[in-house]
Structure 1
Amino acid sequence: MSGLLSVRCVASLRKSRMHLRATALGITRRNYSSNKGSSTEYWSQSDTPLMHHQESLPRLPIPKLEDTVRRYLAAQRPLLNDDQFRRTERIAHDFQSGVGKQLQEELVAQDKNKTHTSYISEPYLYWYLSFRDSMMLTNPYVVFNPDPKTEYNDQLVRATNIVCSAVRFMKTLRAGLQESGVCHLNPTKSETDGFKRVFRWAPSFRSRPIDLSPFFRLFNSTRIPKRRVDELFTDDKARHLLVMRKGNMYVFDSLDGDGNLVTPAEIQSHLRYILSDPTPAAPFPLGVLTSENRDVWAGLRDKLMAAGNTEDLQIVDSALFCLSLDDEGMRDRFHLSDNMIHGDGCNRWFDKSLTFILTKDGQAALSFDHSWGDGLALQVFQNEIFEETTERPLVHPGSAAAAAVDSASAVRRLQFNLDSELENGIKKAQENFDSLMSTLTIDAMEFKKGGKALLKKSKLSPDAVAQLALQMGFLRQYGQTAGACETCSTAAFRDGRTDSIRPVTLQTQRCSHAFVFQPGRHSVEQLQAMLSECSAYHRQLIEEGIMGQGFDSHLFALHYLADSKAEALHGLFTDPAYAAIDLSILESSTLTSPAMDYAVIFLYAPDGFGVTYSVLDDRIGCTASSYPTRNGREFLQCVHKSLEDIFTVLEGKTLG
């Protein structure tokens, strides 16, 4: 399961235009303060509020078992030799006619009794909450573009504007005023004011509402470590913000007793107080514990509570969100990537559902816990925050200080009781963190010789070409075809969460070999025909995925159901081919946003690449994370070469 999203759905939130893939969870509408007239309290009211279409969202369909088996085998074929494939084919057909048929009937029966959700929601939530390794391996992050007005990239100014904007977003959301999300299959025809007026009462097939209920887990939520399976906690009555600096933890109220935003000047004053606090770095920073193995952290948390820290831990858990203020400026993109993913491990609380990170030179990023939802809520939220803070900032460079604000009384630094056992646990967590991070490498590449415009002119799917370049790059580097996975959204369905696209096909395998190993044996016309064939099949896979007809989620739900029984698993789930395709070498997501500079996802396969990419009109950007078993820089060089070859052929030139 991947971290972020791919470009498919457009969430129309106010004036924003974002192409997204996404998620769902499920909470009903709440009402907060009724002071809807204040421009600093709410964003503009929508004619089609967020949850307007929620009850009418279709339910995620359970694919036919025979279709899932057929799609699964089609994805396995390019990854296996003839003998391996015949074995996997035999196992899959035995599953389809036997145990799989029984599991399918049970899954369908269960689904009929859970009309409020989807068949995949519980298995996905369980998977994330039962993941025992460090949350750094599942928490994605995205970096904001700098504010176009450079003077607003001051750490204090930008942090204040982001906090104010985020709180106003939360209030607008909870008051039911936030605009609903829409998946436009043809935005040029349906993203118009006239269409929106009609759409409010008559959604069409070409533009479908999408489930944005995960938004309600953005705020006041935390993942609590528990042995075996964690717990999601939300307390939407809390009014305070959690701020971290030098591993120290501070809290102050960003909402008053009536639920209204305290003045931006007050928030700026409180943040200035924290930034100027002479307290040294925490000698035993609790934040690093959230980077630990979840069972280890659960045990240490129990000890923290036994030592008298229960109240302060609850304050951390219930905070609106976390703001991490880092004291270091960024040297370059690679330094920025390392810092935004993890920093030194001490100035983060990875358990929080939402964390803003602000460096000393005003670089900003978002990180989030993956268990409560996927990337849609985060992406839409980021786009809105960027628009608000860059176009309508509430504080400015040189803004007057708030009059008569006693930040020393309003801001509280949390202090925890630690014994020697807890101190040793923190030291060990720091050692484990340093060991893990010393093995991670992040590399980036930008291809500037063409992008989406030329690909669309050539009638090719930009996403298909990007995925093909990744496969070609791996083949060029390692001489073999690698399993790949690309996340797609089923957000047009209630609690749809995500499914996977398997971009490695017989078509892409044939095309990759032709470009990498046999360019002189094929004419330009033949290579162009192969590209078109790959693109057409990739479009089919995308359509199947977003319509709930992928095979990954279905097999995952059947596996989850089989696991719940005190019986041996069928050979399908113990087949090495199943394990291999489930842990893809190329784990990828694509995303494009006017707010976003770039993003990074961790990789689940220890010998793979975690790849994010963006296909823009005139260029293609790509970021890859890897461990020492792989060379990310060389991989991206091979991807760049593959893109050069593809665009050379599209221009009608022969390959050298």
Structure 2
Amino acid sequence: MIRAHRILTNQNITLRNYIPRKNFSKRKNIRDVDYQYLQRSKVPTMHFQKSLPRLPIPELSKTGERYLNALRPLLSSEQYSTAERRTNDFIAKEGKLLQEQLIAKDKRNKHTSYISEYWFDLYLRDRIPLPINYNPLIVFQNDSRPAYNNQLVRATNLLISAVRFRESLKEQILEPEVYHLNPKKSNTEFFRTFTGFLPEAISWYGAYLMKAFPLDMSQFVGLFGATRIPQLTKDKIFRDPSSRHVVVQKNGNFYIFDVYDSDGNILSPSELLGNLSRIVNDPTPKAEHPLGILTTQNRDEWAEQRRHLVETGNGEMLQKIDSAIFNLVLDDVVIDDDKHMILRHFLQGDSNKWFDKSFSLIVTGDGVAGVNFEHSWGDGVAVLRFFQDIYNETTGKPYIHPDSKPSETNVTVSKLEFNLDDKSKGFIAKALKEYKDWCDTLSIDYILYEGLTKEACKKFKVSPDCIMQLGFQAAYHLLYGKYVGTYESCSTSAFKHGRTETMRPCTDHTKLFCDKLHSNNSSKDELRAIMAECSTYHSQLVKEAAMGEGFDRHLFALMKTAEENQTRKPDIFESYEYKYLNRSILSTSTLSAPSVLAGGFGPVVKDGFGIGYSAFPDKLGAAVTSYKPHNDSSKFVEALHKSFLDITKILSG
């Protein structure tokens, strides 16, 4: 299975339709305008979207070359020779025709990227359960003021900021996402004024002249009022842009309440506090039959179960969950700074979750907060932006304080009541047991290594990302004595409807380094020189991937083109080498931001590792998951610690 990120492209929903420009003057009795919006950008949210460059289709010969380069360290000489012949034969014959067909289709669909439809379809057709397999976790840093980590206080502040973010997005006054190559020169008021005056059709080029790169914003529409609905063979995305309520889960029970008043204004902080206070203090016991556990099932099985729920009178209740702006989860569990518990709870959760929602904002009993998000609608770019913006406001300028009093005005909380027959109760009992058994097989561990930092890596003139990936390769080789398919996710959001590309960190250079490191017959100077080559080549691969010049997505699109045109699947896609490369034993993704305490995801194959990692200013960190019958994440972390020690000695030698 390929760890990937998707967007909604074939549902005929566009951001222009979804995010209407409201006329402020038509709002009755509008409250404090500044309170209604988290941001009020001079440059409209979608200002750069029209002129974003399109994701390029790489040259076929270049794709073949890059593919073979990625295969070389994984195969024997004989296997590689076979792969080389097969690849060259594909490029000269079937690949040439498929390339022409792919280019022709891309020219007919200039509103999107060549990979979007195929990648989105791949996601929604996969039948495996969402938690662990697909839904990642991101955990906020705690507020530095302990009193603000009270569950009710923190949950209310996160709710307020999240809805204010949504309103800014709807009004198109949310700051556009822009990567500034030199922030001191381009992240300025002049930049915003200059690019804001430019017509949308050329605005991107104006930003480019200032060495700033606007990013694709099409995924942001998927954040709110959205749910993935299970259906047989292929799921669908449901969206309700007019939604006025949030759904809250507590003890396996579901509650809803409106977050807007009758005039369409966001309720005051004390009113939102009043609604959440009503739920927190509700004495209703833990649900005997927690419906949320059904979202942990195989998608076809869950589709059949959901159909039965609708047939037995639960359609309206399910629709209220589906259409909610987002899901707010209040858990009783107390984390108490237990990193293992943080990772386990926010990744796999329990029966008090609804994994189908676009995202669930989770707050524990002691105020540890984070997000678990469904992946089919988009990738981490939109989620991380939302994550950082609401973290910055809730820790910098919160609206609710430890001494704030809840209001009784506009408290509209209602508990969702489901009609569960014996058959539905049987579904739930079965799912509870199966999910517990599954979660019990999951091994989760982490490493925080203070011997190297992000700045130290730069000081030694090596890429921090390369050093971490080199550590993963060395750790796996130390444990198993071989090299395997490794996946590093790289964003292509610099392009219209850009998604991700795979960067392949296992290279001839990393293989040479690990072989010499573990043979103990090389000097530090020799190893340091090889490490420098690893870093240079790694940076080249990252740049190629980010610029749409990788090979994985291109080959996948060519394979889908063959299927689409009902031609025979070329031998290259049925080959041992293609399947071996794409069996991601090491599935990795980086997530670095001041607001992030931890991030992670599950293994994508039974005998693999899921590695979410960060190069922090004061340390290197990684969360590692695996399945106990096949691997041990603790042993991998031990090997990774030794590898980091070895790398540190070589660098500082």
TM bin, normalised by shorter chain, reads over 0.9
Aligned equivalent of 1:336, options 338, 342, 358: 342
1:48-127 map, 5 Å: 48-127=43-122
Cα-to-partner distance string for 1:201-257 (whole Å, 9 max, x where unaligned): 411163211001211110000001010110011011110100001111110001123
Match of 2:393 among 382, 388, 395: 388
Give the partner amino acid of 2:640. Answer: V
Q: Name the structure 1 match of 2:248.
A: 243
Instruction: Name the stretch that deviates more: 314-323 or 33-42.
Output: 33-42
Structure 2 CA distance, aligned partners of 1:39 and 1:367?
A: 29
Pairing 1:650–2:646 present: no
Deviation of 1:602 after TM superposition, in Å, equals 1.4
Tell whether the 8 Å contact from 2:491 to 2:501 is kept in structure 1 after alignment: yes
Match of 2:561 in 1: 561
Aligned partner letter, 2:173: L
Bigger shift: residues 100-109 or 227-236: 100-109
Q: By how many angstroms is 1:615 displaced?
A: 0.8
Query: Does residue 293 of structure 1 match 2:288?
Result: no
> Is the 8 Å Cα contact of residues 450 and 617 (structure 1) preserved in structure 2?
no
**2:261 aligned residue (245, 256, 269):** 256
Return 81-90 or 370-379, whichever deviates more. 81-90
Question: Separation in 2 of the partners of 1:533 and 1:604?
Answer: 30
| Structure 1 residue 44: Cα displacement | 3.3
Q: Is the 8 A contact 1:32 1:171 kept in 2?
A: no
Does residue 168 of structure 2 align to residue 178 of structure 1?
no
Q: What secondary structure, in the 3-state scheme, does the structure 2 residue paired with 1:204 have?
A: helix
- Post-superposition shift, 1:598? 0.7
Map residues 286-435 of structure 1 onto 2, 5 A cutoff: 286-331=291-336, 332-344=338-350, 346-402=351-407, 404-405=408-409, 407=411, 410-435=412-437
> Using the alignment, how far apart are the partners of 1:113 and 1:560 within structure 2?
17
Report the counterpart of residue 525 of structure 2 in structure 1: 525
Once the two structures are TM-superposed, the CA of residue 189 in structure 1 deviates from its matched residue by 4.5
CA distance in 2, matches of 1:460, 1:199: 35
Normalised to the residue count of structure 2, the TM-score between the two structures is 0.94
Q: Distance in 1 between matches of 2:193 and 2:289?
A: 56
Are 2:31 and 1:31 equivalent residues in the alignment?
Answer: no
Local SS of the residue matching 2:272: helix
Rounded to whole Å, the distance in 1 between the matches of 2:185 and 2:459 is 19
3-state SS of paired residue (2:35)? coil
- The correspondence of residues 563-602 of structure 1 with structure 2, limited to 5 A, is 563-602=563-602
Amino acid at match of 2:618: D
Give deviations 1:382-440, integer Å, cap 9, x for gaps: 000000111111111011221x4374xx1111111122111111111112211211111
Paired-residue identity, %: 41
Which residue does 1:638 correspond to in 2? 639
Counterpart of 2:208, as a letter, is S
User: 1:8 aligns to what?
Assistant: none
How far apart, CA to CA, are the structure 1 residues paired with 2:508 and 2:585? 17
1:515 alignment partner in structure 2: 517
Q: Which residue of 1 aligns with 2:488?
A: 486
Residue identity in the other structure for 1:334: H
> Is 1:503 aligned to 2:508, yes or no?
no
Q: For residues 36 and 375 of structure 1, do their structure 2 counterparts lie closer, same or farther at Cα, with a shift above 3 Å needed?
A: farther
Cα distance in 2 for residues equivalent to 1:575 and 1:4: 22
Q: How does 1:268-283 map to 2 (within 5 A)?
A: 268-283=273-288
Letter in structure 1 aligned against 2:245: H
Distance in 2, matches of 1:589 and 1:47, equals: 33
Could you tell me how far apart the structure 1 residues matched to 2:552 and 2:262 are?
Answer: 47
SS of 1:251 mapped into structure 2:
strand
Distance in 2 between residues matched to 1:597 and 1:125, nearest whole Å: 29
Q: How far apart in 2 are the matches of 1:453 and 1:24?
A: 38
Contact 1:603/1:625, CA 8 A, preserved across alignment? yes
| Counterpart pick for 2:155 among 151, 159, 165 | 159
Alpha-carbon shift at residue 144 of structure 1 (Å): 0.4
Mapped contact 1:33–1:259 kept (Cα < 8 A): no
- Cα deviation 1:236-281 (Å, max 9, x = unaligned): 1110100001111110001123321111111111111111111111
Q: CA deviation at 1:99?
A: 1.5
**Mean CA deviation greater in 32-41 or 322-331:** 32-41
Is the 1:3–1:601 contact (alpha carbons within 8 Å) kept by the matching residues of 2? no
Secondary structure of 2:47's partner? coil
8 Å contact from structure 1 (residues 487, 501) kept in 2: yes
Paired with 1:406 and 1:100, the residues of 2 have a C-alpha distance of 62
Distance 1:478 1:97, change over 3 A: same
Q: Is the Cα contact below 8 Å between 1:151 and 1:397 reproduced in 2?
A: yes
- SS for the counterpart of 2:302 is helix
The whole-number CA distance in structure 1 between the counterparts of 2:562 and 2:235 is 22
Describe the SS at the equivalent of 2:366: coil
CA distance in 2 between partners of 1:192 and 1:613 (Å): 31
Specify the SS of the correspondent of 2:45: coil
The alpha-carbon deviation at position 197 of structure 1 amounts to 4.1
In 2: Cα distance, 1:3 partner to 1:152 partner: 36
SS in 2 for 1:356: strand
2:540 maps to which residue?
Answer: 540
Q: Which residue of 1 aligns with 2:203?
A: none
- 2:185 and 2:533 mapped to 1: Cα distance? 27
Where do 5+ consecutive residues of structure 1 fail to align?
6-21
Distance 1:389 1:55 in 2: 33
C-alpha offsets along residues 567-593 of structure 1, whole Å, 9 cap, x if unaligned?
432111111221121121110011111
State the 1:517 CA deviation: 2.0
2:293–2:428 contact (8 Å) kept in structure 1: yes
Aligned partners of 2:160, 2:2: CA distance in 1, in Å?
31
Query: What is the Cα deviation at residue 23 of structure 1?
Result: 7.6
Q: Distance in 2 between matches of 1:358 and 1:454?
A: 35
- How far residue 33 of structure 1 moved from its aligned partner, in angstroms, is 6.3
How many Å apart are 1:649 and its aligned residue? Answer: 1.4
In the other structure, the counterpart of 1:16 is: none
Residues 220 and 320 of structure 1 are in contact (CA less than 8 Å); yes or no, is this contact kept in structure 2?
yes
* DSSP-derived class of the 2:179 partner: strand
- What letter matches 1:159 in structure 2? A
* Structure 2: distance between partners of 1:476 and 1:488: 26
Q: Partner of 1:262: helix, strand, or coil?
A: coil
SS of alignment partner, residue 396 of structure 1: coil
CA distance in 1, matches of 2:43, 2:410: 41
1:40 to 35, 38, 59: 35
1:454-493 to structure 2, matched below 5 A, reads 454-493=456-495
| Residue number in structure 2 paired with 1:265 | 270
Which SS does the other structure have where 2:263 is aligned?
coil
How big is the shift at 1:637? Answer: 1.4
Given that 2:361 and 2:370 are in contact with CA atoms closer than 8 Å, whether structure 1 keeps it comes out as yes
Structure 1, residues 314-346: CA drift from partner, whole Å, max 9, x if none?
Answer: 1110000000110111141111211111222x1
Letter of the structure 2 residue corresponding to residue 642 of structure 1: S
CA distance in structure 2 between the partners assigned to 1:466 and 1:337 by the alignment: 20
8 Å contact kept, 2:4–2:500: no
AA partner of residue 203 (structure 1): A
Alpha-carbon RMSD across the aligned residues, in angstroms, is 1.8
Q: 1:352 to 1:596 in 2, by over 3 A?
A: same
**Which runs of 5 or more residues in structure 2 are unaligned?**
25-29, 199-205
Cα distance per residue 1:21-56 (max 9 Å; x no partner): x98965224224625962210123112221010000
- Aligned partners of 1:254 and 1:2: how far apart in 2? 38
| Offset of residue 4 of structure 1 | 8.6
